[in-house]
Amino acid sequence: MESGNLRKAKLRLLEDPALKGLVLRSGRNEILFDLDQDGNADVCVSDESGNGDIDTISIDLTGDGEFNLYLHDADGNGIPDSVLYADDASDQMEVLAIGSEVEQRLKDVAAHLIGLLSSDDFDSSEVTFSLNELAEYLKKDLAELIAEVQAIVNPSGIERIYRFLNDAGVYYLATVEGDQPRVRAFGTALLYDGRLYIQTGKVKSVSRQIAANPKVEICAFKDGAWMRLAGILENDDSIEVKQAMLDKNPSLKSMYSADDDNTQVLYFKEGSATFCSFTSEPEVVDF
Ligand SMILES: Cc1cc2nc3c(=O)[nH]c(=O)nc-3n(C[C@H](O)[C@H](O)[C@H](O)COP(=O)(O)O)c2cc1C
């Protein structure tokens, strides 16, 4: 039976002519909103547990009419306890490991929605105002929020390359020495100020080879996919970046320190990465 705050929310939305237009469809366990009036649902509030209370908010991140972000409030306190992302490519749901700032904003959006739609002391003038405000809030803040979440979920350019290297853990770095290719295992990767850094020791042959010819190539493999990154490295003697690199890789601290003569960090001045797998077309990312 339909009861609880989902029903109240529906009545409120459907009673108000100004707001009716935002509701695309209202079913037994859900209300679908079309905020940009393109005929597709952008946001859905629903009662997944079937107890009459709104416990889930689904958001269409891509604007293609498919929901891919789910905020689920299992304990009913109005704050989602899980944030799930449905990956269209792999058809998998994953729990987003999102940054605390974005997470807080997701919670704010969800708390705002749940709060407005389930408030008990219903006053139609106030609710009209509140729901209009909600519509504005969703259109404006949600758009920003979606952009932030998309950047995390679907990073572009250098972020994507960094994430691949970082998640792979180990990659192979090729340099040239005269007419002889040299390749070795590497593991360091840091994204600092929008630049992708690797670390080595100035005493190593690899460092001397890069100084003579900064053109390098990297290959990394992860979960059936691989990435080849060809680019030009540039030395950076900034103590801050070296320290950030060592902080990210504490095991290096027994061999290196940010102010020694040996520690070297280098970033990709330019490059081109190709993401490949046996099942999809190669994707090239230039930076
Ligand atoms: C898993 C793994 C990760 C490594 N990561 C790095 C690294 O990030 N930086 C580095 O200088 N050496 C790293 N090494 C060590 C180098 O592979 C090794 O020092 C190599 O000999 C350097 O190349 P070179 O002899 O041409 O100078 C790593 C080794 C392994 C096995």
| pLDDT for 280 beyond 80 | yes
Could you tell me if the CB of 248 is within 6 A of ligand 1? no
| pLDDT for 135 beyond 60 | no
Asked whether residue 9 falls in the same domain as residue 62, the answer is: yes
Q: What is the DSSP track for 221-263?
A: EETTEEEEEEEEEEEE--HHHHHHHHHH-GGGGGT--TTSSSE
More confident residue, 67 or 136: 67
CB count in 10 Å sphere of residue 80: 23
Instruction: Read off the amino acid at residue 55.
Output: D
More confident residue, 168 or 10: 168
Asked whether residue 94 falls in the same domain as residue 182, the answer is: no
Mean pLDDT, to the nearest integer, of 8-18? 63
CA distances from 11 to 48, 106, 130, 201 (A): 19, 26, 15, 67
Residue-level pLDDT at 24? 82
- Atom nearest to 189 CA in ligand 1: 8
Most confident of 98-107, 192-201, 209-218, 271-280: 209-218
Residue-level pLDDT at 282? 93
More confident residue, 14 or 107: 14
Asked whether residue 149 falls in the same domain as residue 174, the answer is: no
Asked whether residue 76 falls in the same domain as residue 201, the answer is: no
Pocket test for ligand 1, best of 204, 205, 207, 248 (most atoms within 8 A of CB): 204
| pLDDT for 271 beyond 80 | yes
Contact 161, 171 (CB under 8 A): no
Asked whether residue 130 falls in the same domain as residue 185, the answer is: no
Asked whether residue 139 falls in the same domain as residue 191, the answer is: no
Asked whether residue 217 falls in the same domain as residue 147, the answer is: no
Asked whether residue 34 falls in the same domain as residue 136, the answer is: yes
Task: List the domain range (segments joined by +) for residue 270.
Answer: 157-286
Asked whether residue 172 falls in the same domain as residue 141, the answer is: no
Instruction: Read off the amino acid at residue 214.
Output: P
Could you tell me if the CB of 200 is within 6 A of ligand 1? yes
More confident residue, 261 or 113: 261
This prediction has a pTM of 0.58
d(CA 146, CA 114): 18
The confidence band for 278, taking pLDDT boundaries of 50, 70 and 90, is: very high
Name, in order, each residue with C-beta under 8 angstroms of 205's C-beta and a sequence gap of 6 or more: 177, 182
**Mean pLDDT of all residues in the chain?**
77
Could you tell me if the CB of 186 is within 6 A of ligand 1? yes
Residue-level pLDDT at 118? 53
The pair of structure tokens assigned to 275 is 């993401």
Name the β-bridge partners of 59: 43, 69
Asked whether residue 142 falls in the same domain as residue 169, the answer is: no
CA 277 to ligand 1 center in whole angstroms: 26
Name, in order, each residue with C-beta under 8 angstroms of 215's C-beta and a sequence gap of 6 or more: 176, 230, 231, 232
CA 235 to ligand 1 center in whole angstroms: 17
Could you tell me if the CB of 208 is within 6 A of ligand 1? no
CA 283 to ligand 1 center in whole angstroms: 28
| pLDDT for 78 beyond 80 | no
Name, in order, each residue with C-beta under 8 angstroms of 217's C-beta and a sequence gap of 6 or more: 173, 174, 228, 229, 230, 231
Residue-level pLDDT at 126? 41
Q: Closest residue (by CA) to atom 21 of ligand 1? A: 184
Q: Which of 124, 153, 182 is the last residue of a domain?
A: 153
Q: Which of 138, 153, 168 is the last residue of a domain?
A: 153
Asked whether residue 9 falls in the same domain as residue 146, the answer is: yes
Could you tell me if the CB of 264 is within 6 A of ligand 1? no
The enclosing H or E element of 71 equals strand 69-72
b/e map 187-206, b = 16+ CB within 10 Å:
bbbbbbeebbbbbbeeeeeb
Q: Closest residue (by CA) to atom 28 of ligand 1? A: 186
Mean pLDDT, to the nearest integer, of 69-88? 65
More confident residue, 260 or 118: 260
CA 247 to ligand 1 center in whole angstroms: 18
Q: Closest residue (by CA) to atom 17 of ligand 1? A: 185
CA 275 to ligand 1 center in whole angstroms: 23
CATH number of the domain that 226 lies in?
2.30.110.10
CA 84 to ligand 1 center in whole angstroms: 37
Q: Provide φ and ψ at 100, rounded to 5°.
A: -65, -35
Asked whether residue 115 falls in the same domain as residue 254, the answer is: no
| pLDDT for 98 beyond 50 | no
Number of domains the chain contains: 2
For 190-216, the pLDDT digits (tens) are 998 889 999 999 999 999 999 999 999
Q: Which of 153, 176, 197 is the last residue of a domain?
A: 153
Could you tell me if the CB of 256 is within 6 A of ligand 1? no
